[in-house]
Amino acid sequence: MNLVLKTSSLSALLLVAAAFTMPSGSVAAKDIVLGASVQLTGPVANTGRYYRDAYQLAIDTINAAGGVKVGNKSHKLALKLYDNQSDVNLSVRQYTQLVSQDKVGFLLGPFASNFALADSAVSEKYKIPMVQGGGASDQIFSRKFKYIFGTLAPASNYFGSTVEMLKGLDPAPKSVALLYADDAFDVSVAEGTRPKLKQAGLTLAMDERCGAGRRPRDRDPEFRATGEEPGGRAEDVFLHGGCSQRGFPQGAGQGRRLRFRHDGLAAFGRPEGPLVWRCRAVRCRLQGEVWL
């Protein structure tokens, strides 16, 4: 296959799939239609819209450079996209519609592991390749499906480099607090992090799941981590594995602040809302949004 444009890994995977599934002796060059269901409205729409914009940008860029070549024919890419309203059940129905009624040739994945986990069953059933960069849960690939392709590192290794860094600190931390959300992605993160902490000789002093209506250890809505009370203890390092307010309690009212006392903090995703990360050591004081 001759690619007119060198693209991102996501686009490259799509084009490789096209080369192996489109007939090379086609008489007329037809558009290659890609189908997707993403979160344009609902609780995770802020991130879902990024996926829509990225898909459209990639397609527009490839088409502007002449499209893709399959055999001796150039093809343009087209996008058929639905809003799943941040509802995983609706997302499954929309992917089913894309392949059974809209007859798209390939699928682009949604945002979030719980969506990719459910939606990939559709691609497997209908034998339509799905390339997704929104789900990293190990559960997505543990089923040995043949038609799901991912572009992210597995969630179980998300804190791998962080643990390696902690081992090299002087003085070395001794205890760790792990808080994660009640979904497929964050559970995979926690399951992969626990053995890494044990191998590094770190004590897991706090290991709690939150979300889905549950608060860590039934603390008050503002949620204060262990050691916040005067005279109490605090873990040396706080690992937060949630991607949004689903996994990070925000408090009973708008504008409430969360305060923690730890020597180090690591988080990924985007904890939303006004945050203050307060640590015992001057070397660790962050305020605002945290991206790692």
Specify the pLDDT at position 179: 85
- pTM as predicted: 0.70
Let me know whether 189 and 140 are in one domain.
no
Let me know whether 130 and 163 are in one domain.
no
Within a domain: 1: no
Specify the pLDDT at position 63: 96
Question: CA 104, CA 101: separation in Å to the nearest integer?
Answer: 8
Specify the pLDDT at position 266: 67
Within a domain: 2: no
Q: Which domain holds residue 122?
A: 9-152
Of 152, 174, 193, the last residue of a domain is: 152
Within a domain: 243: yes
Let me know whether 140 and 15 are in one domain.
yes
10-residue averages of pLDDT along the chain (292 residues): 40 47 45 96 94 97 94 93 98 98 96 95 97 93 95 90 88 88 87 94 89 47 39 67 48 35 57 38 33 34
Question: CA 92, CA 84: separation in Å to the nearest integer?
Answer: 9
Within a domain: 131: yes
Let me know whether 203 and 227 are in one domain.
yes
Number of domains in the chain: 2
Specify the pLDDT at position 135: 93
Within a domain: 4: no
Specify the pLDDT at position 211: 63
Within a domain: 110: yes
Burial of 77 (0-12, 13-18, 19+ CB in 10 A): buried
Residue 95 one-letter amino acid: Y
Specify the pLDDT at position 279: 38
Let me know whether 275 and 212 are in one domain.
yes
* 116, 48 Cβ separation under 8 angstroms: no
Let me know whether 39 and 173 are in one domain.
no
Let me know whether 264 and 162 are in one domain.
yes
Specify the pLDDT at position 21: 41
Q: Check which CATH number belongs to the domain holding 141 and give it.
A: 3.40.50.2300
Question: CA 196, CA 176: separation in Å to the nearest integer?
Answer: 12
Of 152, 179, 209, the last residue of a domain is: 152
